[in-house]
Structure 1
Amino acid sequence: MRTRHLMALFTGVLILAIILPISLSIWQAARQAKMQFYRELDDYSNRIVVRTLQVADQAREALREADAHTAASCSPEHLLTLRRIAYTHRYIQEVLWLRDSVPQCSSLEDHSVAVTFPPPDHIAPDGYRTWLTSINDLGLDHQMTAMGSRQHMVMIDPVSFIDVVPASEEKIHTMLFGLDHQKMVISSQPLPAKVWQRIKDPHVDMLTLDNTVYRIQRIPELGSGIVTWSSTLPLQQHIRQQLFFWLPAGIFTSLLATWLLLRLLRHLRSPRNSMLDALNSEAIQVHYQPIISLQDGKIAGAEALARWQQPDGTFLSPDIFIPLAEQTGLITQLTEDIVRKIFADLGPWLRQRPEVHISINLSVDDLRSPTLPTLLHNQLQHWGIAAEQIILEITERGFVDPETTMPVIAHYRQAGHRISIDDFGTGYSSLSYLQKLDVDTLKIDKSFVDTLEYRPLTPHIIEMAKALNLATVAEGVETESQRDWLRQHGVQYAQGWLYSKALPKEQFILWAEHNLHAH
């Protein structure tokens, strides 16, 4: 039954490995093309807004300069000032002087045609007035935008507001309109009537109609709105261009994932089923590797290590079946099985030897287990063993999610357990990271011990632990020179083949008793 479920699972994963990367590459190609489309549309819309504000600012500046003149109205000096302002301001076509909304003279006319401007279309908070009008003192029928102060007015060609070249290869249209009366000021192309109706809603800033995307921005201080739009029909061409990049990547990922899954299936299908059988049949054993005090050579404790004996008498490496247990969701079941075996093996002996501890390795999943703390408590109570005799070893990656793990660790410490960081230096460690951890012991990984003379990081790790008042345990000590170096540098404990390999329970108790009697 388990084999059938395993095959169904891997078949599903294999199908996903084939389909998902290719599907994601197609999705990503479309996403990138759309992002580029909207980015270019937004960029052009923002540039139109900037241009509109620039033109308005220049108009205000021109009006301030005109209002600041002191010469008599329409005198040669006054007219020269108006002409100088029109000449030096890029977007200004004409500057007029008015009396009661009637132009009297301008930068183009010494004596203007007597026309009367209607009430303004918009009055800004700063008092400047705005018109969209074809009325002018030249008698021309030409739509212009005007901005006026109390006595002066500047005429602006509406094209100035939208005379911005798009950065996109695709055609982007734009329109400037008045917010107060919904008047069109200038447009590069007629706007459909149904779009006009939609943009009247002040809450609408983006809409899509008839394969066209419309972007609406409003400038309340100017009483103006800007619409930019572009057809989505060229998107298909952009998507095809993106597919030239993303589809090969998706196909390669799919092939690679398929190859890896087939290898994984071949290697893991049978061991996983065997592990389930091993857990159910109590086939997994626990061996104990002594941990020695470097100061006096006396045993301080031992690390409990799982051993899985195969039918041919060999042992399967924990580096294989521990990750397999994690991948298949069996790690907590395996850990709880090991905990029960530790107390069954050493319960009476640990009660007689309160100075000796046993270290148990916990995975990230074990920290989330709601049943493991209860199991430990019940076993300690049953055998009459102090909680401080059980040290919990957690790898560095177990601290990556502090919001989840720290409360669990705090609970274990309150129960009396000591906490050790296992395989230190191979994961996510840093000084700031260590300062935040409520732990007791730091275990230096074997890779650092093997290269003491060539890796200058090891002394820094030791000094870091001293600064934080953490005990240190060196793993994988195999030579006397390593032992001496570690002792000289202040490491308190060591374990490794220099002292003993991991031993079955009977051999471990004999070894430990011999050591204790010798010291």
Structure 2
Amino acid sequence: MRTRHLMALFTGVLILAIILPISLSIWQAARQAKMQFYRELDDYSNRIVVRTLQVADQAREALREADAHTGSSCSPEHLLMLRRIAYTHRYVQEVLWLLNSVPQCSSLEDHSVAVTFPPPDHIASDGYRTWLTSINDLGLNHQMTAMASQQHMVMIDPISFIDVVPASEEKIHTMLFGLDHLKMVISSQPLPAKVWQRIKDPHLNMLTLDNTVYRIQRIPELGSGIVTWSSTLPLQQHIRQQLIFWLPAGIFTSLLATWLLLRLLRHLRSPRNSMLDALNSQAIQVHYQPIISLQDGKIAGAEALARWQQPDGTYLSPDIFIPLAEQTGLITQLTEDIVRKIFADLGPWLRQRPEVHISINLSVDDLRSPILPTLLHDQLQHWGIAAEQIILEITERGFVDPETTMPVIAHYRQAGHRISIDDFGTGYSSLSYLQKLDVDTLKIDKSFVDTLEYRPLTPHIIEMAKALNLTTVAEGVETESQRDWLRQHGVQYAQGWLYSKALPKESFIQWAEDNLHAH
């Protein structure tokens, strides 16, 4: 993956690492608050259902006990039994004896008000009948829930069905209603009319309306329904409470993820990774600077120079990335990549122009590479190019340890390659054993060419090369006066901006062909 693509991906991941944990913590805080809100509402609604069933079961139990009486109706014994039933059953307020749906006596009065009860609001599957009624022996205008068997009736205060303390700190309201006629039995607070209209839907279990959540449950065996509801406005306070825990956790996670990603970024942006990415993405190109004969101006060859193109189109100086490749252990891989590109660029052309050579720079590490000799041999065979057309340039540092490097150089010479000392003169110690080196060409460094008239060492280098029968090439020739001086002193070849800068393959081939046709 190219570095810019990787960096774009990394930037996106970094942004997510900063935003996502905090966003998730806020989302989780809101989620927990909502879950708690709905859990408390559901819990309260379920407790109301349980209470309603408990009250109904107790009413049935009281009726069964009353129906078990076999003595005379409304006798002192009968009345005492009714009073005992009312006394021992928590939710039963009164027990009555009926004759043809007309109360005759009760646990409160020996003689009840003779009022005929209307048809029941609901008849259960077990035969028990229920009413919502204000009929009582005390003359009170108070709605009661009545449940009756064939002979007895119990009166229950509707508040018993919903007299449950919420576990929540927030206010939760509830209402008990009849399913058959949608009649309210008891409510802790008036239910809005538009909610009444909605709960007619038998499939509706949950409703959110006007910042309020309504929970609807139905008890078909009792013909009853229960609505519990609570405002969602306090949710914001609950969310803030949850944030006290979740937000620090999110911030910590975000900081930890950011720290880890920044460490990864430093690794990805390390010099070695940058160089490795450039090699893998083919960002390093090869340009060719012509080497010209000073006698007739004809091209003799070219030096292959690596160029690392940056994303903005500019080129990074080899003085920067070549030492970088050496320091990061990638110089051999870089050289192998350059060799492949040279043959891919110029293979067919070099086969047609056997008089032209290409100089390739080798580092000290390249001399230790077991792959490079084989690579050169295979490429020469593949393209049908003579080995003498590939000159290997080695800097003076490559000869510091002659016991190691000289056998390698000898192997290259036996294969047919010519050897050149690059940037000669930058290490004065080399002068003392130049005559011991098995080389063909000596390249005079640009620093000597720039100061030809002021550095007496340059003529000495040239004379020594002549004495050793070495070909000389001057680097960095930029003026005609430099050219003329070098030619007068016997230097055979030169390269520099006086002739041409380093060119891409197409431009170089065109330049070389024009030069060859002109000579």
**Class of the TM-score when normalised by the shorter of the 2 chains:** 0.5 to 0.7
- Shift of the 281–145 alpha-carbon distance from structure 1 to 2, 3 Å rule, reads closer
C-alpha separation in 2, matches of 1:103 and 1:203:
39
C-alpha separation in 1, matches of 2:513 and 2:47:
83
User: How far apart are 1:202 and its partner, in Å?
Assistant: 0.7
- Shift of the 460–16 alpha-carbon distance from structure 1 to 2, 3 Å rule, reads farther
- 1:149-197 per-residue CA deviation (whole Å, 9 max, x = no partner) reads 0110000000000011111111111000000000000000000000000
User: How far apart are 1:295 and its partner, in Å?
Assistant: 77
C-alpha separation in 1, matches of 2:36 and 2:401:
36
C-alpha separation in 2, matches of 1:430 and 1:56:
113
User: How far apart are 1:134 and its partner, in Å?
Assistant: 1.1
TM-score by length of 1: 0.54
SS in 2 for 1:218: strand
SS in 2 for 1:429: helix
SS in 1 for 2:251: helix
- Shift of the 475–41 alpha-carbon distance from structure 1 to 2, 3 Å rule, reads farther
- 1:300-359 per-residue CA deviation (whole Å, 9 max, x = no partner) reads 999999999999999999999999999999999999999999999999999999999999
- Shift of the 75–429 alpha-carbon distance from structure 1 to 2, 3 Å rule, reads farther
Q: Which residue of 1 aligns with 2:117?
A: 117
Q: Which residue of 1 aligns with 2:423?
A: 423
Deviates more, 1:153-162 or 1:373-382: 373-382
- Shift of the 7–123 alpha-carbon distance from structure 1 to 2, 3 Å rule, reads same
**Aligned pairs (5 A) from 1:84-483:** 84-268=84-268
- Shift of the 252–79 alpha-carbon distance from structure 1 to 2, 3 Å rule, reads same
Deviates more, 1:7-16 or 1:452-461: 452-461
C-alpha separation in 1, matches of 2:211 and 2:427:
52
User: How far apart are 1:144 and its partner, in Å?
Assistant: 0.4
Alpha carbons 1:115, 1:136 under 8 Å: kept: no
User: How far apart are 1:141 and its partner, in Å?
Assistant: 1.4
SS in 1 for 2:508: helix
Alpha carbons 1:52, 1:162 under 8 Å: kept: yes
Deviates more, 1:101-110 or 1:136-145: 136-145
User: How far apart are 1:18 and its partner, in Å?
Assistant: 0.4
- 1:391-418 per-residue CA deviation (whole Å, 9 max, x = no partner) reads 9999999999999999999999999999
Deviates more, 1:352-361 or 1:484-493: 484-493
- 1:267-298 per-residue CA deviation (whole Å, 9 max, x = no partner) reads 24569968987997999999999999999999
User: How far apart are 1:260 and its partner, in Å?
Assistant: 0.2
User: How far apart are 1:422 and its partner, in Å?
Assistant: 52
- Shift of the 306–233 alpha-carbon distance from structure 1 to 2, 3 Å rule, reads farther
- Shift of the 514–18 alpha-carbon distance from structure 1 to 2, 3 Å rule, reads same
- 1:366-391 per-residue CA deviation (whole Å, 9 max, x = no partner) reads 99999999999999999999999999
C-alpha separation in 2, matches of 1:64 and 1:103:
17
User: How far apart are 1:138 and its partner, in Å?
Assistant: 3.2
- 1:79-131 per-residue CA deviation (whole Å, 9 max, x = no partner) reads 11111100000000000000010000111111111101111000111111110
SS in 1 for 2:37: helix
Alpha carbons 1:17, 1:257 under 8 Å: kept: yes
Alpha carbons 2:2, 2:281 under 8 Å: kept: no
- Shift of the 190–362 alpha-carbon distance from structure 1 to 2, 3 Å rule, reads farther
SS in 2 for 1:135: coil
C-alpha separation in 2, matches of 1:8 and 1:127:
76
Deviates more, 1:108-117 or 1:314-323: 314-323
Name the larger-Rg structure.
2
C-alpha separation in 1, matches of 2:163 and 2:400:
54
C-alpha separation in 2, matches of 1:178 and 1:52:
12
Q: Which residue of 1 aligns with 2:28?
A: 28
C-alpha separation in 1, matches of 2:73 and 2:436:
77
Query: Which consecutive residues of structure 1, in runs of 5 or more, have no partner in the other structure?
Result: none
C-alpha separation in 2, matches of 1:68 and 1:491:
137
- Shift of the 22–83 alpha-carbon distance from structure 1 to 2, 3 Å rule, reads same
Q: Which residue of 2 aligns with 1:506?
A: 506
- 1:19-56 per-residue CA deviation (whole Å, 9 max, x = no partner) reads 00110111111111111111111111111111000000
Q: Does 1:6 align with 2:6?
A: yes
Alpha carbons 2:424, 2:444 under 8 Å: kept: yes
- 1:234-265 per-residue CA deviation (whole Å, 9 max, x = no partner) reads 11111111111111111111110000011112
Alpha carbons 1:114, 1:137 under 8 Å: kept: no
Alpha carbons 2:82, 2:95 under 8 Å: kept: yes
- Shift of the 427–237 alpha-carbon distance from structure 1 to 2, 3 Å rule, reads farther
- Shift of the 118–329 alpha-carbon distance from structure 1 to 2, 3 Å rule, reads farther
Alpha carbons 1:396, 1:428 under 8 Å: kept: no
SS in 2 for 1:430: helix
Deviates more, 1:448-457 or 1:226-235: 448-457
Alpha carbons 2:214, 2:229 under 8 Å: kept: yes
Deviates more, 1:258-267 or 1:451-460: 451-460
Deviates more, 1:108-117 or 1:438-447: 438-447
C-alpha separation in 2, matches of 1:450 and 1:152:
127
Alpha carbons 1:268, 1:324 under 8 Å: kept: no
C-alpha separation in 2, matches of 1:148 and 1:457:
130
Alpha carbons 1:396, 1:429 under 8 Å: kept: no
C-alpha separation in 1, matches of 2:429 and 2:164:
53
Alpha carbons 1:176, 1:225 under 8 Å: kept: yes
Deviates more, 1:74-83 or 1:275-284: 275-284
- Shift of the 2–55 alpha-carbon distance from structure 1 to 2, 3 Å rule, reads same
Which aligned segments of 4 or more residues in structure 1 are displaced greater than 3 angstroms?
Answer: 268-519
SS in 1 for 2:473: strand
User: How far apart are 1:266 and its partner, in Å?
Assistant: 1.9
Deviates more, 1:330-339 or 1:203-212: 330-339
- Shift of the 485–92 alpha-carbon distance from structure 1 to 2, 3 Å rule, reads farther
C-alpha separation in 1, matches of 2:412 and 2:199:
62
- Shift of the 12–309 alpha-carbon distance from structure 1 to 2, 3 Å rule, reads closer
TM-score by length of 2: 0.54
User: How far apart are 1:139 and its partner, in Å?
Assistant: 2.6
- Shift of the 209–14 alpha-carbon distance from structure 1 to 2, 3 Å rule, reads same
User: How far apart are 1:137 and its partner, in Å?
Assistant: 3.3
- 1:397-444 per-residue CA deviation (whole Å, 9 max, x = no partner) reads 999999999999999999999999999999999999999999999999
Percent identity over the alignment? 96
Deviates more, 1:497-506 or 1:45-54: 497-506
SS in 2 for 1:364: coil
Alpha carbons 1:103, 1:137 under 8 Å: kept: no
Alpha carbons 1:396, 1:424 under 8 Å: kept: yes
The number of residue pairs the alignment matches comes to 519
Deviates more, 1:347-356 or 1:188-197: 347-356
C-alpha separation in 2, matches of 1:432 and 1:129:
126
C-alpha separation in 2, matches of 1:109 and 1:424:
132
Alpha carbons 1:115, 1:137 under 8 Å: kept: no
Alpha carbons 2:175, 2:186 under 8 Å: kept: yes
Deviates more, 1:507-516 or 1:256-265: 507-516
SS in 1 for 2:130: strand
